[in-house]
């Protein structure tokens, strides 16, 4: 009933291409309202389902709503948008809206719902009872399985958990993924058929990449990787030696690859959970926010309020509505028997009033950082809510993922944590500084190759450049090439489908945005730091990584100026407003990590030299030689520098300490 006026309108002008005025009128007075309502309905249905995934009724509602929305979109596209091009119009805003409006979205309810269902209900038996009744004693990913991967140092238990998770997820959705790829490509290519002006979408990968409005996008992402790869390589090498120290003969890293199950993370995408093992100076004062949160009796709600306060200190909009449980948000894992999709997410219900976070929050530093990430999305939604419907998006998807992380870079500095009383007894010096950069690198740098390879793999799958029979081995080619990891057990192209063990693959959610965001956030951070006068590139005595722009309205203004534009301008213009340059660059990231890069390179070189010179040592100092052999077997850095040797000794002492979780990501 609601749609009657709109239908009447469509019948009147079914044939003709709309003139400039007609199109403007249609978008403002009809499309805006209809699209927002459809979006609201679809998102409510999806949110209700994701917070109660065992409910068949809610699942059916999602299916029906998605089909209904898809039918409406297709109908309206056929009538109004399929044969118009940006060049038909003169108004710049209108031209830009037409750019996205003439591309038809695609709906893939069945295959994706089934795959995410497999993923989110996947359970495995514990290592100690591998023949358990999985429905009663099975562990789910969050928090059960992730907790073991994060904390266990039992090599064989980790192998078991790593494989078991892939057996109950990826392996079970291989055929569904084939269907998904076929349907996805059909929907993408449908944009090509029987219309005058259409983008040349050869497959779903091309359709996804269109969001980035960059004809050289693939090459540009590869170039960014080339810029940051040397830093990753040094980090990987250093961490590999530390892991060797922990696992001894069980761990083979002789080919330069590290087995993927020992990084404290199911996908080896974030290495923060092994920070206590790899932190170069373990005996100096530590950033231990977890203990502070516990000691001060922080609640889940307190974490959200603290994060909100940071955003407001920059003069940005308050976000209380998004974590208000009585307004529909889910910030705690339900205890009423519902199963939910725990993966943290931020929701815009398109009505200008309803914004929600969904998260199974735990009271620790990792989740505190995740909250800032998710609130970055909410802040973006709020800032662009008055833009036309087609512009209520990030400048590109990488921007959306980068905002909260930019804020979190400031929040996670020891400087800031001290200000909000979450860090006491901490001395700021070169060693603590290297440690804190290492913590950050274990999150941000470790992530980069993973962020890049997921979509590189999917682009190949969608384009057909890799045949179905090689999907899994191609996945491992990329994981080997970029992440320099290998599977801990043999994998098979027939029975395994390891990409499916990562949420975004069954979830039909593109991933390269995270890679780009990990580069962009350092550009944004540097720019906000300069605006806040907390960083001066000319002054080498104050490094970038120590900047905290808390309470800087100037930084907030800079951020807001970009956010409020949504996608109404090409991202390069928005980037220029926010950073002063139109180009994405990894330079600020490299500037941020420069002290750590120098440290790692130096340590790795020392070790290489030690290995090279080892035979010459044997005659002269017999006792020392024996010590070195032992150290070498354990992968310890040799150094003639007394200070480093002593730090390494301390390091060995601390290896059996608890593995504290620091930092965190959400991807």
Binding interface with Zn ion (CB under 5 A)? 401
By beta carbon distance, the residue nearest Zn ion is 401
The answer to whether residues 227 and 211 touch, using CB atoms and an 8 Å cutoff, is no
Nearer to Zn ion, 59 or 401 (CB): 401
Separation between Cα atoms, residue 348 and residue 317, nearest integer Å: 15
The answer to whether residues 382 and 25 touch, using CB atoms and an 8 Å cutoff, is no
Nearer to Zn ion, 240 or 394 (CB): 394
* Least distance from Zn ion to the Cβ atom of residue 45, Å: 21
* Least distance from Zn ion to the Cβ atom of residue 50, Å: 15
The answer to whether residues 138 and 168 touch, using CB atoms and an 8 Å cutoff, is no
Separation between Cα atoms, residue 179 and residue 181, nearest integer Å: 6
Nearer to Zn ion, 401 or 439 (CB): 401
The answer to whether residues 435 and 599 touch, using CB atoms and an 8 Å cutoff, is no
* Least distance from Zn ion to the Cβ atom of residue 112, Å: 18
Q: Is 510 helix (H, G, I), strand (E, B) or coil?
A: coil
The answer to whether residues 501 and 107 touch, using CB atoms and an 8 Å cutoff, is no
* Least distance from Zn ion to the Cβ atom of residue 517, Å: 8
**Cα dihedral across residues 121, 127, 133, 138: positive or negative:** negative
- Strand 258-259 and strand 485-486: the pairing is parallel
* Least distance from Zn ion to the Cβ atom of residue 526, Å: 21
Closest to 90 measured CA to CA, from 40, 21, 155: 21
* Least distance from Zn ion to the Cβ atom of residue 641, Å: 42
Give residue for tokens 């609640």: 299
The answer to whether residues 358 and 51 touch, using CB atoms and an 8 Å cutoff, is yes
* Lookup: tokens for 183: 């349907």
Selected catalytic residue, list 236, 372, 504, 545:
504
User: Is residue 102 annotated as involved in ligand binding?
Assistant: no
Separation between Cα atoms, residue 519 and residue 449, nearest integer Å: 12
Nearer to Zn ion, 210 or 405 (CB): 405
Nearer to Zn ion, 61 or 120 (CB): 120
What is the 3-state composition of the chain as percent helix, strand, coil, each rounded to the nearest 5?
65, 5, 35
Separation between Cα atoms, residue 652 and residue 544, nearest integer Å: 31
* Lookup: tokens for 140: 């789910």
What's the Rg (C-alpha) of the chain?
A: 26
User: Is residue 628 annotated as involved in ligand binding?
Assistant: no
Separation between Cα atoms, residue 638 and residue 303, nearest integer Å: 43
Nearer to Zn ion, 82 or 383 (CB): 383
**Cα dihedral across residues 405, 407, 410, 411: positive or negative:** negative
Nearer to Zn ion, 293 or 403 (CB): 403
* Least distance from Zn ion to the Cβ atom of residue 377, Å: 6
Query: Can 374 be counted among the known catalytic residues?
Result: yes
Is-cis flag, bond preceding 143, omega within 30?
yes
Separation between Cα atoms, residue 251 and residue 651, nearest integer Å: 19
* Lookup: tokens for 268: 């080896």
User: Is residue 325 annotated as involved in ligand binding?
Assistant: no
Other Cβ atoms within 10 Å of 459 Cβ, number: 20
Nearer to Zn ion, 376 or 487 (CB): 376
Separation between Cα atoms, residue 233 and residue 446, nearest integer Å: 10
Q: What angle do CA 308, 312, 313 make, to 5 degrees?
A: 115
Query: Can 20 be counted among the known catalytic residues?
Result: no
Selected catalytic residue, list 50, 234, 374, 648:
374
* Least distance from Zn ion to the Cβ atom of residue 509, Å: 10
User: Is residue 377 annotated as involved in ligand binding?
Assistant: yes
Please enumerate, by residue number, every residue annotated as part of a binding site for chloride: 212
| Residues annotated within a binding site for Zn(2+) | 373, 377, 401
Annotated binding-site residues read 212, 373, 377, 401
- Residues marked active site are found at 374, 504
């Amino acid at each position: 009933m609601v749609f009657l006026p709109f239908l009447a309108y469509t019948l009147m002008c079914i044939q003709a291409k709309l003139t400039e005025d007609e199109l403007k009128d249609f978008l403002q007075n009809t499309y805006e309202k209809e699209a927002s309502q459809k979006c609201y309905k679809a998102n409510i249905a999806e949110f209700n389902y994701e917070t109660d995934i065992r409910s068949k009724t809610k699942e059916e509602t999602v299916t029906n709503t998605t089909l209904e929305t898809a039918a409406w979109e297709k109908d309206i596209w056929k009538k109004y948008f399929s044969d118009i091009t940006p060049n038909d119009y003169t108004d710049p805003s209108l031209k830009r809206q037409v750019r996205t409006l003439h591309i038809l979205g695609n709906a893939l309810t069945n295959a994706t719902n089934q795959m995410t269902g497999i993923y989110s209900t996947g359970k495995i038996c514990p290592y100690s009872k591998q023949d358990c009744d999985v429905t009663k004693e099975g562990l789910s990913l969050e928090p059960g399985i992730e907790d073991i991967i994060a904390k266990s140092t039992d090599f064989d238990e980790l192998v078991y958990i790593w494989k078991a998770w892939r057996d109950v997820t990826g392996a079970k959705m291989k055929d569904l993924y084939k269907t998904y790829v076929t349907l996805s490509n059909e929907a993408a290519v449908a944009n090509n058929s029987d219309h005058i002006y259409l983008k040349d979408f050869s497959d779903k990968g091309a359709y996804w990449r269109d969001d980035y409005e960059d004809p050289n996008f693939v090459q540009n992402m590869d170039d960014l990787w080339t810029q940051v790869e040397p830093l990753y390589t040094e980090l990987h090498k250093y961490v590999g030696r530390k892991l060797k120290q922990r696992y001894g003969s069980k761990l083979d890293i002789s080919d330069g690859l590290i087995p993927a199950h020992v990084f404290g993370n199911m996908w080896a995408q974030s290495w923060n959970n092994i920070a206590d093992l790899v932190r170069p100076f373990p005996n100096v004062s530590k950033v231990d926010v977890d203990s502070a949160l516990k000691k001060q009796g922080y609640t889940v709600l307190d974490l959200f309020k603290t994060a909100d306060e940071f955003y407001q200190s920059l003069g940005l909009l308050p976000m209380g509505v998004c974590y208000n449980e009585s307004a529909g948000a889910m910030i705690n894992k339900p205890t009423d028997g519902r199963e939910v999709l725990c993966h943290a997410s931020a929701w815009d219900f398109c009505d200008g009033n309803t914004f929600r976070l969904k998260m199974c929050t735990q009271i620790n530093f990792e989740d505190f950082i995740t909250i800032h990430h998710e609130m970055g999305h909410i802040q973006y939604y709020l800032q662009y809510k008055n833009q036309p419907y087609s512009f209520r998006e990030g400048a590109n998807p990488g921007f959306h993922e980068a905002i909260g992380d930019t804020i979190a870079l400031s929040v996670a500095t020891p400087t800031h944590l001290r200000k909000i009383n979450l860090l006491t007894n901490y001395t700021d010096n070169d060693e603590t500084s290297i440690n804190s950069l290492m913590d950050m690198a274990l999150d941000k740098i470790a992530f980069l190759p993973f962020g890049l390879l997921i979509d590189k793999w999917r682009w190949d799958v969608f384009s057909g450049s890799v045949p179905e029979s090689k999907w899994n081995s191609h996945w491992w080619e990329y994981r080997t090439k970029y992440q320099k990891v290998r599977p801990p057990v043999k994998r098979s192209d027939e029975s395994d489908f390891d990409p499916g063990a990562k949420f975004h693959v069954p979830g039909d959610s593109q991933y390269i945005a995270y890679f780009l965001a990990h580069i962009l956030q350092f550009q944004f951070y540097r720019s906000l730091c300069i605006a806040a006068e907390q960083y001066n590139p000319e002054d080498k005595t104050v490094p970038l990584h120590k900047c905290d722009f808390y309470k800087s309205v100037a930084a907030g203004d800079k951020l807001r100026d970009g956010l409020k534009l949504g996608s109404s301008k090409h991202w390069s213009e928005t980037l220029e407003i926010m950073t002063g340059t139109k180009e994405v660059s990894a330079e600020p990231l490299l500037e941020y990590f420069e002290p750590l890069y120098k440290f790692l390179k130096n340590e790795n070189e020392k070790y290489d030299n030690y290995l090279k010179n080892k035979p010459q040592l044997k005659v002269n100092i017999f006792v020392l030689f024996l010590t070195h052999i032992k150290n070498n077997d354990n992968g310890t850095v040799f150094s003639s520098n007394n200070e480093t040797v002593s730090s390494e000794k301390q390091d060995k002492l601390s290896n059996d300490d608890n593995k504290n979780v620091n930092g965190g990501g959400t991807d």
